[in-house]
């Protein structure tokens, strides 16, 4: 469903943040992306919804080269991609339910978006998504009353309500303690297994990556230096990754 072909990214026209990336991700995979700070993990995810444009090479999503999309096609691409951020990206003073409904905005006219007009089906879908992440009781609380782990679960519910084909998560547990991180990772796992959702997740904690991800891709200075099963990540390879 996703394919990088000789993809390069340079922010300044000189240094390469991504250097000749070749990567194929199939439907239903749960891929952990690891690497030290500045290795290109965030850049890799951001190219998939064209928040960052490749300087050269191609990226195919569902068989289409996304670097050639027009504005309408790009809007449709972004509807198909759920993005979960480290800092949750919620509207703190809004209700949990309203935050989840934001996931539907990409499907609406600007008029309906502006006035927050949602269908009964969308309310139901938001409620279901919140139940799926164990927050059925928190629907009418304000987002800023939740803990960090609960906020991140709201962010996951928001992407589920969006009904994407893929979820990209950029260091989603970096601000959480280890036990809360595991709870949040358990929900990513559940979404992957129950919905056969493709998930690409940037993680700085290798142990979490090894525990949850079927496949690990390691970046170093913008290049893929490991792509394989968690069990094949030897200490020697880890040393090279985090050199």
DSSP per-residue string spanning the chain: -EEEEEEEE-SSSSS-SEEEEEEEE-TT-EEEEE-STTSSHHHHHHHHTTSS--SEEEEEETTEEGGG--HHHHHHHHHTEEEE-TT----TTSBHHHHHHGGGGGGS-HHHHHTT---HHHHHHHHHHHHHTT-GGGTTSBGGGS-HHHHHHHHHHHHHHH--SEEEEESTTTTS-HHHHHHHHHHHHHHHHHH--EEEEE-S-HHHHHHH-SEEEEEETTEEEEEEEGGG--HHHHHHHT-
Given 4, 7, 30, 42, the residue binding ligand ATP (CB under 6 A): 42
The stretch near ligand ATP (CB under 6 A) out of 39-47, 87-95, 150-158, 182-190 is: 39-47
Given 25, 29, 41, 185, the residue binding ligand ATP (CB under 6 A): 41
Asked if 53 touches ligand ATP (CB under 6 A), the answer is no
Q: Cβ closer to ligand ATP: 156 or 203?
A: 203
Q: Cβ closer to ligand ATP: 79 or 215?
A: 215
Size of the site for ligand ATP (CB under 6 A): 10
The least CB distance from residue 137 to ligand ATP, in Å, is 34
Asked if 47 touches ligand ATP (CB under 6 A), the answer is no
Q: Cβ closer to ligand ATP: 35 or 82?
A: 35
Q: Cβ closer to ligand ATP: 146 or 219?
A: 219
| Residue 51, φ and ψ in degrees, nearest 5 | -65, -30
Q: Cβ closer to ligand ATP: 11 or 114?
A: 11
Subset of 6-25 contacting ligand ATP (CB under 6 A): 11, 17
Given 43, 49, 99, 192, the residue binding ligand ATP (CB under 6 A): 43
Given 7, 39, 125, 152, the residue binding ligand ATP (CB under 6 A): 39
Contacts 24+ apart (CB under 8 A), 226-234: 227/23, 230/32, 233/206
Q: Tokens 């890799």, residue? A: 44
Subset of 133-192 contacting ligand ATP (CB under 6 A): none
The least CB distance from residue 176 to ligand ATP, in Å, is 16
Binding site for ligand ATP (CB under 6 A): 11, 17, 35, 37-43
């Amino acid at each position: 469903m996703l394919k990088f072909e000789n993809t390069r990214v340079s922010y300044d026209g000189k240094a390469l943040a991504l250097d000749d990336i070749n990567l194929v991700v199939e439907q239903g995979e749960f891929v952990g992306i690891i690497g030290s700070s500045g290795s290109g993990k965030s850049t890799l995810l951001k190219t998939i919804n064209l928040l960052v444009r490749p300087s050269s090479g191609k990226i195919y999503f569902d068989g289409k080269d996304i670097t050639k999309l027009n504005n309408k096609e790009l809007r449709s691409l972004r509807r198909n991609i759920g993005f979960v951020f480290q800092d949750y990206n919620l509207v703190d003073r809004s209700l949990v339910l309203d935050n989840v409904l934001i996931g539907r905005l990409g499907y609406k006219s600007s008029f309906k978006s502006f006035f927050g007009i949602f269908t009964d089906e969308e309310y139901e879908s938001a409620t279901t998504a919140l139940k799926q992440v164990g927050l059925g009781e928190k629907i009418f609380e304000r987002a800023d009353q939740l803990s960090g782990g609960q906020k991140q679960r709201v962010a996951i519910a928001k992407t589920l309500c969006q009904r994407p084909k893929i979820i990209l998560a950029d260091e989603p547990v970096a601000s959480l303690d280890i036990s809360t991180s595991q709870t949040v990772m358990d929900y990513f796992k559940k979404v992957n297994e129950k919905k056969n959702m493709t998930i690409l997740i940037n993680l700085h904690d290798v142990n979490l990556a090894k525990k949850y991800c079927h496949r690990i891709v390691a970046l170093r200075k913008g290049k893929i230096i490991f792509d394989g099963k968690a069990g094949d990540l030897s200490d020697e390879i880890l040393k090279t990754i985090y050199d």
